[in-house]
Amino acid sequence: MTLNTFHYAGVSAKNVTLGVPRLREIINVAKKIKTPSLSVYLKPEVNKKKELAKNVQCALEYTTLRSVTHATEIWYDPDPLGTIIEEDVEFVRSYYEMPDEDIDPDKISPWLLRIELNREMMVDKKLSMADIAEKINHEFDDDLSCIFNDDNADKLILRVRITNDEAPKGEIQDESAEDDVFLKKIESNMLTEMALRGIPDINKVFIKYGKVNKFEDTDGFKPDNEWMLDTEGVNLLAVMCHEDVDATRTTSNHLIEVIEVLGIEAVRRALLDELRVVISFDGSYVNYRHLAILCDTMTYRGHLMAITRHGINRNDTGPLMRCSFEETVDILLDAAVYAESDYLRGVTENIMLGQLAPIGTGGCALYLNDQMLQQAIELQLPSYVEGLDFGMTPARSPISGTPYHEGMMSPSYLLSPNIRASPITDAQFSPYVGGMAFSPAPSPGPTSPSYNPSSAKYSPSHAYSPSSPRLSPYSQTSPNYSPTSPTYSPTSPSYSQPSPSYSPTSPFTTSGGPSPDYSPTSPNYSPSGSYSPTAPGYSPSSTGQQFSPKDTDKDDENAQ
Amino acid sequence: MLSDLYFMSFRVIASVTSSTHEIKSKTVIFMEKDKIYLQLNQFTKPIPIIVVMKAMGMESDQEVVQMVGRDPRYGDLLYPSIQECAFERIYTQKQALQYMDDKVMYPGAGNQKEGRSKSILRDVFVAHVPVNSGNFRPKCIYTAVMLRRMMDAILNADTFDDKDYVGNKRLELSGQLISLLFEDLFKTMNSNAVELLNKATEKIHSSPLDLSLHIKTDIITNGLERAISTGNWDIKRFRMHRKGVSQVLSRLSYMASLGYMTRITPQFEKTRKTSGPRALQPSQWGMLCPCDTPEGEACGLTKNLALLTHVTTDQEEGPLMNLCYSLGVEDLSHLSGEEIHASYSFLVMFNGLILGKHRQPQRFANAMRMLRRSGKIGEFVSIFVNEKQHCIHIASDGGRVCRPLIIADKGISRVKEHHMKELRDGIRSFDDFLRDGLIEYLDVNEENNALIALYEHEDQDDVQRSSITHIEIEPLTILGVVAGLIPYPHHNQSPRNTYQCAMGKQAMGNVAYNQLFRADSLLYLLVYAQRPLLTTKTIELVGYDKLGAGQNATVAVMSFTGYDIEDAIVMNKSSLDRGFGRCIAMKKYTVTKEKYDGGFSDRIVKPQRGKDGALLKQNMRALDEDGFAAPGQIIRNHDIYVNKQTPKNTNRGSGPPLTDRDYKDSPAVYKGVDGETTVVDRVMLCSDTNDRLIIKCIIRHTRRPEVGDKFSSRHGQKGVCGTIVQQEDFPFSERGICPDLIMNPHGFPSRMTIGKMIELLGGKAGVSSGQFHYGSAFGEPSGNADTVEDISYTLVKHGFSYNGKDLLYSGIVGHPVQSYIFMGPIYYQKLKHMVIDKMHARASGPRVLLTRQPTEGRSRDGGLRLGEMERDCLIAYGASMLIFERLLISSDPYQVQVCRKCGLLGYYNHKLKTSYCSMCKNGENMAKMRMPYACKLLFQELQAMNVVPRLKLTEG
C-alpha cells in the first residue's frame, strides 16, 4: 500500500482517502475523517431511470442561498412601488400592477436588499425564482416581502424589503436608521443559514451507474445495473428518511455515524467492508478470517474500540497488561491510587511474572486424583532390553510379555500412564486414529494370526502411540511377537505406515539392528514419509527397501 | 534570500527569508479569508498588509493599488484588505505605526516602545532591502512585488514556485559553516572579555588594567575543535543546532572516500510523508548524479554531485550593481508604480534585491553574458530572464551549482578541432578555454534560457539549428564519480545502478598510495587488486585504475551444484589458492603510557624469562625484548602485545622513586577470535599533545574467501559465496580455461542488468586482443563506449563465438555440457561484509548487570532477542511452554522469597538459612517462588515510586 492515495480514477471524479491514511482512520476510529461519504441506493422504482435518480440527487444536495447568489446589494430605494434602479423598473412596475398580497406600501421599508442570482448555479441546482421566494416567505412569514423577476430575464433579481408592523410615520426616522443594519443581518443570515433544498451536511452528490448483483430465488445471483448516488458529506439518518432512498442498503463510510444510526452489528459489517475496500484497492487479498477477527475484536465490547491506547487500554484488563502498552507510568499510578488488582489472567502478565501462560499448551493442567492413586495397582514393568528412555511405556503388554516385535517400535512409550493400564484392560485402543491402523498393510499373512484387534495389548500402541509407526508388513499388531526378540529394530520406521498414531517424536533410528536408541526426539525418516495418523494403507511393496529387520522378522516368524 | 510561494490547504503564502550581516529573518505574507496579512516573528498577531504599507509611508490606498498593478483583478483581491484597514480606522502613517506598536512581541526591550515597530520595519521586515535615511520606498516596492506575485499565484495556480527546484536551492560549503562558527565564537570571546572587564573595573587594582589577561585564549580553539570533532554546530545567534555537519571520512576504499567528498545532505528531518524532496528532479540534470543515492531512510535526500559540477562562492556585489546601472537599468527610486509593471519592462533583481527595471531585457542579458564570457565579470555570475514573471534574475551569491558547457553560436560550436589538438598537446588547459570564451559556466536557472544540444552537427528535426546556444561537453558527465564506475550503465535497469553506487563504496581494494604507512583503525586491502578490463572514462579521470578495488574473474553463467541459489556464487578452490579474493584486514590497537602527578608514569617492561630463557608466561610469546610485540610475530587470543605496568598508587604526588613492587601489571591483551592467525604488522611509537607516549599496534590478518563472504559485480548483483569446489570438478572450456566463479543465470531476467553481459563480452574481447575496452555511459555515439557489434567482431576474429558463449565440458562427468555457456571475465568486487566478522553464537554467557539478562551484541557475546513481535507469533501458535522456556528459564530466572501476609518480597538470610520479611519483621509466612529478575527489579522500582505491587500466592 502506498502512502499516496490520489489515484482514484473513478467515474465520479471525487476522491476518497485510500491506502495507509484511510487504514489509519479506520483503525483509530477517527472522529473526523477526510472524505466522509454516503453510498445511497435508491428504491427500485427510482433506480432504473437516470432522470428519476437525478431528481433524488437534486433533492439531497444541500443548497444554500449563498451558492446560487452572484451578488448582493443594499439600496436605499424609498419608493416601494417603483425603483431607482433602471433594470428593475419594468418588473417592479409589472409586479405592482397586480399586487399579490395586500401590503400597505407604507409599511414597507425604504431599504432594499437586492440579490442577483447566478444563472448557471440556478440551472445546475434546478431551482427557480419562485422556489426561493417561497422559501423566504416560509422562513420569514410576513416580515419580509420579496419580489422576483422572471426566470428568463437577463438577470435574476430578487428584491427583499422588510415590512414593519407598527404604524410608521411617527417613528420612521429611527427605524429606517436601524433598517439597513437589520437588512445586513438578514442578508448574512439568509446567505448562510437558509437552506433552499437538500439535507444539511450533504455538500455534493454524484450520480453513477453501477453494477450490482441481485439475488433472485430462481436464478441465483444475476448482474444488474442501477443508478446510485455518492455524496460528499454524511448525514445518514436524514438521507435514509428520504422517501426515494432505499434505507436497507444505504451506508456511510463514517463509522461513528454508522454506529450511532444503525448499531453495533451494522458497524461491524461496515468496518469489514471498509477494510476490504482499502486492502483490495491495490489488488491485495487478505482472507476473511483475519479481517473478521479484527472487526470482532473492535466491536465485541458493544462500542467501537480503537486500536490505540485510547481503545485498548480502556478495557478492564489487568494493570500490568495495560501498562505494557504505551502509557506505563500513568496506568501504574492510577492502579496504585485505586488499589487495582491484577488476577493474572492475561498473557502478558504471566510472561512478566515468569509463569506458564494460560494459552495453547498451557491451557490445560494435569490433575492427579489422590484417592484413585491410593487404589492403584502396582504394575510390574517388563524388563527392557535396553533402557527405554523416559516415556517409554511398556507398550509391550506385560501380559504377553512380549515386547513389540522388532518392527513395531512403538513409540507408544510416550504414552501417558494411561497406557500402562491398558494392557490390563482390554481393547483400549482408545482413540485409534483412523482405526485403520491395522491391516492396511498387507501383513505378511502368516503373521497376522496373532493379530487380533482385541489384543488390546498391542493396540494401545497404535492407538496412542504417539509414534507407533506400525510397520506395515506386520500390520501393527504384528503378532509376531517373538518374545525373544526384544529387538524391535527401530529401524522399522519403514513400516511406518499408517501408524495411526502420530508419533510425536517418531524417534526411529534408521540404522538397522535393534538399536534401541530411539531417542524420543530423534526424528527419523519415515520411508513412506507420511506418518499421519490417517495415513492410509501403505503399500508394503514400497517398503521394499530398508527393511533389514524384515528378514529377521521373517526368520522369527519362521522360527515360530 | 529565497522567495517561494507554496500552497498550503487553501492558504497562499509568499515568504522571503532574508539574511544580512546582522540578522536573518523570515517574512511571510499570507491570505486568509480574502484578507492579506503580514506575519513576522516580532509581532504577536498577523498585521493587515495595508497597515504595513501605510506605516512605511504609502498612505494612500490608490498608491498601494497602483504599486501592485493596475489589473482590476489585483484590485479586487486587495479590496477586502483595504476595507479592513479602514475598519480599524487607520489612515495615516502615525496611526499605522501606533497600531503596530501594540502588537510588538517584546516591548520595552532596548529602545522606547515608540520606535519599536519602525525599527522593526526598518531592520527585520524584508531585511535585505536597505533603508537609506528613512526612505522606505524600496521596501514598499518590494512588498508590492511580493503581493503581486502572491496574487498571480492565487489567480493562476501554475505560478507557484517549486520548492524542490534545484535552482532554488543553495549548498552550504565548509567555508561558510566555519565562518559562522568562528563569528559566533569570536563574539562569545569578546562578550566574555567585556563581562570580565566590567567586573574588574568595579574592584580596585594596584596595577593598570591589562586587557590581555581577561581574554580567554582558548575559547575559539576549543570551540572549533569541539564542533568539528562532534559535528554539532550550535550557533546561538542564528539559533542553529545542527548535527552531523562534520563526519569522519570513510577510508574503506578509494571510492568510499571520493564518494564521501561529493556528498550533499539536507538539513531537514527525514519525515516519511513528503515525497517531493526525495524524487528525482529534472533540474538535477548535469548537476547532481541521478543514481547515486543511498537506499533506506535517506533515499533521495542525500545526493551526490555530478562529475563536472562546480559550487559557486560569493562574489562582490558592488561592482556588479554599478555595472547593471550603467547598462541601462533604471533605478527604482525614479519609478512609479505604474511604470514598474508596464508590460514591456522587466524587473531586474540582483541576489534577491530589486535594482530597477529595464526596457530591453534581452539586450541587457546578452550584454552581461558577453561581459562574462570575456572575463570582465566573474565567470560564475548568472543572468536569467524569466519571461513569465517579467523579471531578470542576476545571481552572484555562493552555493549555487553550475556546470561548464561549450558555447555555440547559432548551433556551431566555438571549440574547433585545433583547440582540441592544442588541448591534447598540452598547450591549452581548461582555464584557457574558459578565458577565451569557448566554455562557460551555467547554473540551473540560466540553463532555462539556453538551448543545449547533446552533440554538434546533429540534424535536429524539431529544433532550428540556429537557435542552439550551447553544447554539452559529454553525456557521461551527468553521472557522478561513484556511478562512473559502472560499465554500460545505460544498458542497466536504473535501480541496479543505484545499488552499485552503494556497494562500490564497500568494495575492498587499495585506499591510497601510502596505505601501508597509514595507521587507520580499520583498513581493508585486497592482496591482488586489479584494474577493470572494461573501463570507463570516469575511471581514468578519477584515478581508480591506478588503485583498483576488485579482480577480473572469469565467470561462467550457469547452474552448478545447486549451492548457487538466491544469488550465491560458486567459487573455484584453486583460484582461491592462487590468491583470488584474498584480502588483508588491518586493525589498530592503541595503548597510552599515562603520566601521573609527581612525575610518575607507566612503564613498559621486558617479558620475564626463567633461567633457561623460556618465557615465564606463555601469553608473552609475541613480545620482543623491549616489551612491545615484534612485527611479524603471530599473535593469538589472550596474547599480550604491550607489557605495561602501572604504579599502584597513582595519587601519591611526588616522592621517592618507585621500585618494582610498586607497579602492577596492566598489559594490553589482544582479544581476537580463536582460530584466526593474526600477525603484528608494525608497531608505531609516537607522542600526543600532552607528551604521552602512544603505542599504535597494527595487527594484520590475511583472509581467504570462505563460504559466506560477500562478493558483487559492478551492476548491483551481489551474492555470497555458496560453496567452494575443487578445480577438478569445475567445467572447463576447450582451451582448458576454468572459470573462477560460477554465477546463477537466474540473476539476470528480473534484474535486467544487460550492462553486465556486455561487460563480459568486452572483457573477453579485451583479453583476446590485448586492449582495454570502454563502457562509459551513453558513450556509443561519441566513441567513449565500444558497441556490441565491434566487440563481437573482435571476438569472432579471435576464434570465439560472437555471443560470448563457449563449449564447456563438465568436470564431474566428463562430457560436454548440453548447452553453450556464457563465459568471460567480469570485474568482481569483494565487499567488506565477511562472515568471520559476523558469525556469532552463544549458549550462555555474560549478563547485563542491571537486569541480569543476557547482553546484547556480538562484541559482548550477547544473545539474540526474542522481541515482542516474535513473542506474539509464539502466542499465536499456542506454544506456551516455549515462551516460558525462552523468557524465563533461559533468560533471567531468579528465586525470591515472598511473604504471604503482606505480599512483598523478602530476603533470605544465608547464615540463619531462613527467609525474612522486612515489612512484617518476621520470617513466618514466607514462600519461595521463581520469577524473572527483571520482574523483581520492576517491583522494586515501583516500590521506590510508592506504588506497591503485592503478590498473592497460591500453591503451585
The helix (H) or strand (E) run that includes residue A75 is strand A69-76
Confidence of residue B267 (pLDDT cuts 50, 70, 90): confident
**What pLDDT is recorded for position B270?**
60
- Mean pLDDT is lowest, of A129-138, B332-341, B347-356, for B332-341
pLDDT tens-digit series, residues B380-393 = 999 999 888 888 99
Q: How far apart are CA A60 and CA A287, in angstroms?
A: 37
Contacts of B836 (CB under 8 A, 6+ apart): B673, B676, B703, B706
Set of chain A residues whose Cβ sits within 8 Å of the Cβ of B935? 352-354
| Mean pLDDT, residues B820-839 taken together | 93
Beta strands B773-774 and B668-669, pairing class: unpaired
Query: Which pLDDT band holds residue B761 (cuts at 50, 70, 90)?
Result: very high
Nearest by CB: B932 against A335, A354, A360:
A354
Question: Residue A529: what pLDDT?
Answer: 40
Substitution target in B880, B889, B943 with the highest count of A β-carbons within 10 Å is B880
Among B618, B548, B501, CA closest to B259? B501
Q: Considering only CB atoms, which chain A residues are within 8 Å of B947? A: 332-333, 335-336
Question: What pLDDT shows up at residue A163?
Answer: 81
| pLDDT at A462 (0 to 100) | 41
Q: Which residue of B has its CA nearest to A358?
A: B880
CB contact under 8 A, B878 and A363: yes
Query: Which residue of A lies nearest to B930 if distances are taken between CA atoms?
Result: A354
Q: Is the pLDDT of residue A311 over 80?
A: yes
Residue A512 has pLDDT above 60, yes or no: no
Set of chain A residues whose Cβ sits within 8 Å of the Cβ of B852: none
Distance of CA B799 to the CA centre of its chain: 49
Q: Which residue has the higher pLDDT, B86 or A102?
A: B86
Rg (CA), chain A: 43
pLDDT at B747 over 50: yes
User: Which pLDDT does position A525 carry in this prediction?
Assistant: 44
> Which ipTM value was assigned to this complex?
0.75
B808 vs A323: CA distance, rounded Å? 67
| Per-residue pLDDT, B24 | 76
Chain B residue whose CA is closest to A325: B868
CA angle in degrees (0–180, nearest 5) for B632-B638-B643:
70
Chain B touched by A293 (CB under 8 Å): no
Residues 141-170 of A with CB under 8 A from B: none
Instruction: Please give the sequence-ordered ranges of beta strands (E in DSSP) within A83-238, or none if there are none.
Output: 108-117, 144-148, 156-163, 195-197, 204-216, 220-232
Residue of A332, A347, A354 with shortest CB distance to B935:
A354
Nearest CA to A444 among A475, A469, A468?
A475
Contacts of A357 in chain B (CB under 8 A): 875, 880, 883-884
Q: Regarding predicted confidence, which is higher, B821 or A524?
A: B821
pLDDT above 70 for A544: no
Please give the residue of chain A at the shortest CA–CA distance from B952: A343
Cα–Cα distance measured from residue A77 to residue A114, given in angstroms and rounded to the nearest whole number: 10
Contact at 8 Å (CB) between A464 and A521?
A: no
Question: How far is B30 from B48, CA to CA, in rounded Å?
Answer: 10
All three cell numbers of B580, joined, read 583470488
Q: B801 and B735 in contact (C-beta within 8 Å)?
A: no
Contacts of A352 in chain B (CB under 8 A): 932, 935, 938
Q: How far is residue B404 from each of residues B401, B423, B446, measured CA to CA in Å? A: 11, 16, 12
How high is the pLDDT of residue A484? 44
**Mean pLDDT value across chain A:** 71
For residue B861, give the C-alpha cell.
557475546
Query: What does each C-alpha distance from A505 to A408, A459, A534, B128, B686 come to in angstroms?
Result: 15, 18, 16, 83, 65
Closest partner CB to B931 (pick from A333, A354, A362): A354
With cut-offs at 50, 70 and 90, classify the pLDDT of residue A534. Answer: very low
Query: Of the spans A357-366, A512-521, B713-722, which averages the highest pLDDT?
Result: B713-722
Residue A151's pLDDT is 83
Cell numbers 442501477 label which residue? A226
Residue B488's contacts (CB-CB under 8 Å, 6 or more residues apart) are B534, B754, B755, B758, B759, B775, B777, B785
pLDDT tens digit string along A69-112? 888 888 888 887 778 888 888 888 888 787 666 667 777 788 88
pLDDT of residue A166: 59
Highest mean pLDDT among A202-211, A258-267, B909-918: A258-267
Residue with cell 545567534: B237
Tell me the three cell numbers of residue A135. 422559501
The SS3 assignment for B682 reads: strand
Rounded Cα distance, B459 and B38, in Å: 54
Cα gap A28→B74, rounded to integer Å? 45
Order across the sheet with B644-647: list the strands: B603-604, B644-647, B663-665
- Confidence band for B55, pLDDT divided at 50, 70 and 90: confident
Task: Say what the pLDDT of residue A101 is.
Answer: 64
Chain B CB within 8 Å of residue A353 CB: yes
Residue B158 predicted with pLDDT over 70:
yes
Choice among B4, B545, B567, B624 that is catalytic: B567
CA-based nearest distance A361→chain B, Å = 5
CB pairs under 8 A between A and B: 57
What is the per-residue pLDDT across A130-187, written as a single tens digit (0 to 9) for each?
A: 888 888 888 887 788 888 888 888 888 888 888 876 554 544 555 555 777 888 888 8
* Catalytic residue list contains B567: yes
**DSSP state, B217?**
T
> What is each CA distance from A354 to A70, A472, B883, B915, in whole angstroms?
74, 45, 9, 21
Are the C-beta atoms of residues B308 and B286 closer than 8 Å to each other?
Answer: yes
The minimum CA-CA distance between B559 and chain A, rounded to whole Å, is 29
To 5 degrees, how large is the angle CA B779–CA B781–CA B782?
65
Q: Residue B287: its pLDDT value, please? A: 94
Please give the grid coordinates belonging to residue B357.
527595471
Interacting residues of A298 by C-beta distance below 8 A, sequence separation 6+: A29, A268, A271, A304, A305, A306, A307, A311
Let me know: does A238 contact A277? Beta carbons within 8 Å: no
- Judge residue B653's burial from the number of C-beta atoms within 10 Å of its C-beta, 0-12 exposed, 13-18 middle, 19 or more buried: exposed
Average pLDDT over residues B670-687: 86
Position B107 scores a pLDDT of: 59
Per the model's pLDDT, the better-predicted residue between A552 and B72 turns out to be B72
Query: What is the predicted pLDDT for the residue at A314?
Result: 87
pTM of the model: 0.76
Percent of chain B with pLDDT over 70: 95
pLDDT at B612 exceeding the cut of 60: yes
Residue listed under C-alpha cell 490606498: B61
Alpha carbon of residue B410 to chain centroid: 41
B18 sits in which H/E element: strand B12-19
Q: Is A332 on the interface with B (CB under 8 A)?
A: yes
| Phi, psi of B217, deg, nearest 5 | -80, -25
Instruction: Say how far apart CA B340 and CA B358 lie, in whole Å.
Output: 9
* pLDDT class of B34 with cuts at 50, 70, 90: confident
The residue that leads in pLDDT, B267 or A325, is A325
pLDDT attached to residue A89: 84
What is the C-alpha separation between B466 and A434, in angstroms, rounded?
91
Q: pLDDT digit string (tens) for B434-467?
A: 989 999 999 999 999 999 988 887 666 666 777 8
Of A347-361, A483-497, B804-818, the range with the lowest mean pLDDT is A483-497
Q: Is A273 helix (H, G, I), strand (E, B) or coil?
A: helix
Residue of B76, B947, B951 to mutate for A, most A C-beta atoms under 10 A: B947
The answer to whether A64 and A71 have CB atoms below 8 angstroms apart is no
Most confident by average pLDDT, A43-47, A506-510, A549-553: A43-47
Q: Judge whether A234 and A260 are in contact, CB under 8 Å.
A: no
Picking from B321, B327, B409, B408, the residue whose alpha carbon sits closest to that of residue B368 is: B327
Ranking A134-143, B40-49, B636-645, B648-657 by mean pLDDT, the lowest is: B648-657
* Minimal CA separation from B881 to chain A, in Å: 6
Cβ atoms within 10 Å, residue B668: 18
pLDDT of residue A210: 84
Amino acid identity, residue B819?
S
What per-residue confidence (pLDDT) applies to B133? 78
B764 compared with B48, residue with greater pLDDT? B764
Q: What is the DSSP string of B422-458?
A: HHHHTS--HHHHHHTTSEEEEEHHHHTT--EESSTT-
For chain B, the average pLDDT equals 87
pLDDT of residue B280: 92
Which helix (H) or strand (E) is B319 found in, with range? Answer: helix B318-326
Residue A46's pLDDT is 87
- pLDDT tens figures, B493-544: 999 999 999 999 999 999 999 999 999 999 999 999 999 999 999 999 999 9
Q: State yes or no: pLDDT of A417 exceeds 50.
A: no
* A174 touches A158 (CB < 8 A): no
CA distance A185 to A178: 11
* B884/A359 touch (CB, cutoff 8 Å), yes or no: no
Alpha-carbon dihedral angle through residues A43, A47, A51, A56, given to the nearest 10 degrees: 40
